[in-house]
Amino acid sequence: MRAPGASVAPVADPPEPPPRITYVIGRLDRAVRAGIAAALEPVDLSVPEYTALSVLHRRTGLSNAQLARRTYVTPQSMIQVLGGLEARGLVHRSADPGHARIRRAALTPEGQRVVAVADVAVEELERRMLDGLGATREAHLRDDLVRCVRALGAGLDAPDAR
Amino acid sequence: MRAPGASVAPVADPPEPPPRITYVIGRLDRAVRAGIAAALEPVDLSVPEYTALSVLHRRTGLSNAQLARRTYVTPQSMIQVLGGLEARGLVHRSADPGHARIRRAALTPEGQRVVAVADVAVEELERRMLDGLGATREAHLRDDLVRCVRALGAGLDAPDAR
DNA sequence: CCAATTTCAGAGTAACTGATATCG
DNA sequence: CCGATATCAGTTACTCTGAAATTG
């Protein structure tokens, strides 16, 4: 005897529970990072470096502290990344008029060029990852992910994305 | 004049593009890892350790190589984690009958106990993260994430989850 | 004096690559 | 001999904690 609507499969093994969602998130992140790292090899950028460049491209003029909060790392970590990018001439930092302590970062023309090249590669990766998902479902997915980030108290657009 | 259906907001700043979805994934993963790390402190487990225990709890008898593929790390990395868990008596490894080279891992009673305690904490975190999302939407989210993992070529349930 | 920002210095975790040995 | 597994050893990438200086 079989419950109505059940699968026709022969007895079927114990119904393995779905993987924990946090586990899937971690696994996906690893796959994404590996993919991005590979895509970034030609322009000689690490994932943290590309992340910083990319954020600065969207929101120019962020300070090191702001950038750190945005990417959920400590300012001590971000200063390393930013220092490297500055040394390579991809980022320019200038003192905030009105608060000499704060140094606001912006992409140099070369930084713009590099991030544009990297973006192409990353977009290709995203297309591959989202292949077959409709635009609507993709939007839902992004929205839900953002919602999750916020629910964990790491807002993505708080006054300072803190 | 204003297009029909447009927002009523006064002029509104340049329509900032939505954050890149891979960026949101990375950001969420960082938040999740931080949360899990905090939740795991009482049982003195690292995130990689908990991940391994958790996977073994669902799929007992995996080899080091299988476990490595499942979690998307190299076997050289996994052997370290597994070694530590074995030394702490949370995992027991025994030679596969039929292939002496392969050592299959399983949780010890103590390992079962620890993972159960950790699970409670992690589940609380997931509840917080998914708060307000309906069960249906949560299922969609998980499904889409799994789909993304697969699309990137890192299947979650291939013959060997390779 | 306090809070935020910047930044140097020292560690530490977690991951990697390379190499070796065994087994089927 | 080949392919998969296990595992030792060395190294690297990334981030962290601690501390000090500066600014408003």
> Which tens digits make up the pLDDT trace of A44-71?
999 999 999 999 999 999 999 999 999 9
pLDDT for the residue A1: 47
Please give the DSSP secondary-structure letter assigned to residue B17: P
pTM, full prediction: 0.88
Kindly report the average pLDDT of chain A as a whole number.
Answer: 90
Q: Are A107 and A57 in contact (CB under 8 A)?
A: yes
With a cut of 50, which residues of chain B have pLDDT below it?
1, 5
Kindly report the average pLDDT of chain B as a whole number.
Answer: 90
Among B47, B119, B58, CA closest to B81:
B47
A84 touches strand D (CB under 7 A): no
Please identify among residues 28-87 of chain A the ones whose CB lies closer than 8 Å to any CB of chain B.
28-36, 47, 51, 54-55, 58-59, 71-73
Structure tokens at A81: 């990344």
Q: Give the list of residues 6+ apart from residue A30 with CB closer than 8 angstroms, or none.
A: B71, B72, B73, B154
Helix A47-58 and helix A75-87, axial crossing angle in degrees, nearest 10: 90
Instruction: Nearest chain B residue to A59 by CA: give it.
Output: B16
Q: Are A125 and A39 in contact (CB under 8 A)?
A: yes
CB environment A56-76: b (16+ within 10 A), e (fewer): bbeeeebbbbbbbbbbbbeee
Which residues, in sequence order, are bridge partners of residue B106? B92
Cα A31 to chain center, whole Å? 13
Structure tokens at A39: 């895509």
